[in-house]
């Protein structure tokens, strides 16, 4: 069994900020790469100072990276990067259009220093008429139709997470891995580019194709009857006797038969008007209120036990903090030290021999309210770098002596 991470020998230089670039770096680090994060020495990644609901972004996306604080606008700072590039396999960048060229860290400037370099740009739009437009996650969600489908009619609503930034980052990682494989054969690197807009169109493909086929206007998901328009008769949220609410998805006739038999709905089971899913779609206006009344007479725990046994898809409707206290989710988290606290964040959504460092359920504290949901003493704690924490170590490896380090820092070129 191979327990060595696949990117164990890969070094990544991340010119990333906020979400997209740092997500690429996080994923590559999760695959075993060493990731050096380049940050401005005066303030670092803007995510470091995000307040309130944005405060968890930096520790989640940047744990276990190295921080190199260097001023790219100073020729001496650019020289640091130029000396480092021959030791780098992958450059990740999500600067706004034209910034990399202005700072001379674009692909054409760096390629002569390392012909095998893989250069990954995450931008707003792929090359074309929109390429130079500024973009943000929510801007793209609006433009692609995603917010239209998510919110109630006339009230477009963004997703509850930066899904477009992160999806574009996933496409970037695909491109990077493909380019690394090609470089092993050809000895030559390449530039790959992913973009938020095209990533969002990827999500909207089903809706666009459906319109092309039916020529019927799209309906936002919250509109009543939308489950039927999406092909399922029973696909809705129901109130229980207690919390949480229950999302129930009866997506096959076999599920329907099992459900009716258990809950004594023999009249529906025998009625041809409800026999097949397509039939139940047309009967939703009658069916859903009846099921709502039925299920409201049961506790969530009772329904959970029954639906698990019947193998019918369902889910509790939860907040993020409620997910954190779920004992069965413990293995999906990792422990990160940040600002003197041990916090839990989701780990790599991938199971493989080289990342089998998951917690077991018996490592969960009995009372998550007392602190983190996991017993952190049983696993390695990831470290979030301080701004410039690794600057001097990296520069020493490039041949800078102590006097040069002091001069660079005193001049504001670096921070160590």
Transcribe 270-291 into DSSP letters. Answer: H-GGGSSHHHHHHTHHHHHHHH
Considering the domain architecture, whether residues 96 and 148 belong to the same structural domain is answered as: yes
Considering the domain architecture, whether residues 184 and 39 belong to the same structural domain is answered as: yes
Edge-first strand listing for the sheet containing 333-338: 341-346, 333-338, 381-383
Domain limit, last residue, from 316, 344, 360: 316
Q: Which residues contact 381 (CB under 8 A, 6 or more apart)?
A: 335, 336, 337, 342
Structure token digits, residue 171: 């496409």
**CA 83 to each of CA 34, 79, 389: distance values in angstroms, whole numbers, following the listed order:** 17, 6, 19
Which residues of the chain register pLDDT less than 70? Answer: 1, 224-230, 356-379
User: What is the spatial distance between Cα 281 and Cα 267, in angstroms, rounded to a whole number?
Assistant: 17
Domain membership of residue 219 (yes or no) is no
Structural domain including 299 reads 246-316
Q: What is the mean pLDDT of the chain?
A: 91
Considering the domain architecture, whether residues 32 and 99 belong to the same structural domain is answered as: yes
Q: Total structural domains in the chain?
A: 3
E strand spans, 214-332? 234-238, 246-250, 314-316
Tokens 């972004």, residue? 57
Residue 170 phi/psi, 5° resolution? -65, -40
pLDDT for the residue 152: 87
Check which CATH number belongs to the domain holding 105 and give it.
3.40.50.10540
Domain membership of residue 215 (yes or no) is no
Considering the domain architecture, whether residues 161 and 271 belong to the same structural domain is answered as: no
Q: Identify the CA nearest to 382 among candidates 351, 353, 355, 416.
A: 355
Considering the domain architecture, whether residues 258 and 395 belong to the same structural domain is answered as: no
Domain membership of residue 197 (yes or no) is yes
Considering the domain architecture, whether residues 369 and 392 belong to the same structural domain is answered as: no
Considering the domain architecture, whether residues 254 and 193 belong to the same structural domain is answered as: no
pLDDT for the residue 123: 96
Domain limit, last residue, from 316, 332, 359: 316
Domain membership of residue 268 (yes or no) is yes
pLDDT for the residue 296: 97
Considering the domain architecture, whether residues 151 and 290 belong to the same structural domain is answered as: no
pLDDT for the residue 331: 82
Considering the domain architecture, whether residues 138 and 285 belong to the same structural domain is answered as: no
Domain membership of residue 214 (yes or no) is no
Domain membership of residue 221 (yes or no) is no
Which run of H or of E encompasses 214? helix 196-214
User: What is the spatial distance between Cα 255 and Cα 253, in angstroms, rounded to a whole number?
Assistant: 5
Domain membership of residue 234 (yes or no) is no
Considering the domain architecture, whether residues 270 and 179 belong to the same structural domain is answered as: no
Q: Which residues contact 231 (CB under 8 A, 6 or more apart)?
A: 277, 281
Q: What is the pTM of this model?
A: 0.90
pLDDT for the residue 316: 96
Domain membership of residue 241 (yes or no) is no
DSSP state of 329: G
Considering the domain architecture, whether residues 90 and 141 belong to the same structural domain is answered as: yes
DSSP state of 71: -
Considering the domain architecture, whether residues 405 and 357 belong to the same structural domain is answered as: no
């Amino acid at each position: 069994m191979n327990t060595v991470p696949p990117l164990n020998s890969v070094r990544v230089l991340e010119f990333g900020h906020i979400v997209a670039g740092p997500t690429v770096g996080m994923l590559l680090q999760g695959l075993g790469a060493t990731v050096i994060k380049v940050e401005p020495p005066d303030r670092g990644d803007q995510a470091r100072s995000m307040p309130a609901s944005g405060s968890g972004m930096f520790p989640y996306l940047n744990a276990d990276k190295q921080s190199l604080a260097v001023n790219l606008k100073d020729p001496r700072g650019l020289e640091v990067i130029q000396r480092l590039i021959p030791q780098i396999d992958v450059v990740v960048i999500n600067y706004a259009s034209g910034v990399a060229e202005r700072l001379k860290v674009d692909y054409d400037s760096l390629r002569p220093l390392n012909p095998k370099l893989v250069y990954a740009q995450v931008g707003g739009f792929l090359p074309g008429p929109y390429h130079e437009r500024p973009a943000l996650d929510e801007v793209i969600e609006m433009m692609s139709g995603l917010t239209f489908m998510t919110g109630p009619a006339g009230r477009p609503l963004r997703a509850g997470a930066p899904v477009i930034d992160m999806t574009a980052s996933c496409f970037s990682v695909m491109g990077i891995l493909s380019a690394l494989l090609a470089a092993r054969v050809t000895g030559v690197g390449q530039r790959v580019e992913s973009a938020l807009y095209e990533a969002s169109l990827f999500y909207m493909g089903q809706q666009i194709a459906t319109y092309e086929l039916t020529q019927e206007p799209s309906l936002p998901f919250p509109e009543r009857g939308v489950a039927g328009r999406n092909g399922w008769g029973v696909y809705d949220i129901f109130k229980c006797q207690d919390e949480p609410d229950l999302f129930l998805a009866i997506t096959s006739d076999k599920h329907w038969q099992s459900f009716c038999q258990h809950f004594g709905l023999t009249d529906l089971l025998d009625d041809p008007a409800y026999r097949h899913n397509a039939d139940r779609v047309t009967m939703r206006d009658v069916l859903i209120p009846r099921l709502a009344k039925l299920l409201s007479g049961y506790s969530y725990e009772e329904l959970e036990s029954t639906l698990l046994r019947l193998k019918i898809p369902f889910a509790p409707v939860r907040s993020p903090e409620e997910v954190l206290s779920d004992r069965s989710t413990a293995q999906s988290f990792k422990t990160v030290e940040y600002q003197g606290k041990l916090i839990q964040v989701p780990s790599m959504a991938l199971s493989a021999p080289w990342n089998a460092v998951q917690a077991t359920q018996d490592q969960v504290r009995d009372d998550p309210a007392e602190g983190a949901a996991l017993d952190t003493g049983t696993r390695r704690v990831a470290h979030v770098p301080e701004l410039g924490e690794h600057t001097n170590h990296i520069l020493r490896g490039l041949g800078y002596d102590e006097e040069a380090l002091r001069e660079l820092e005193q001049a504001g070129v670096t921070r160590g």
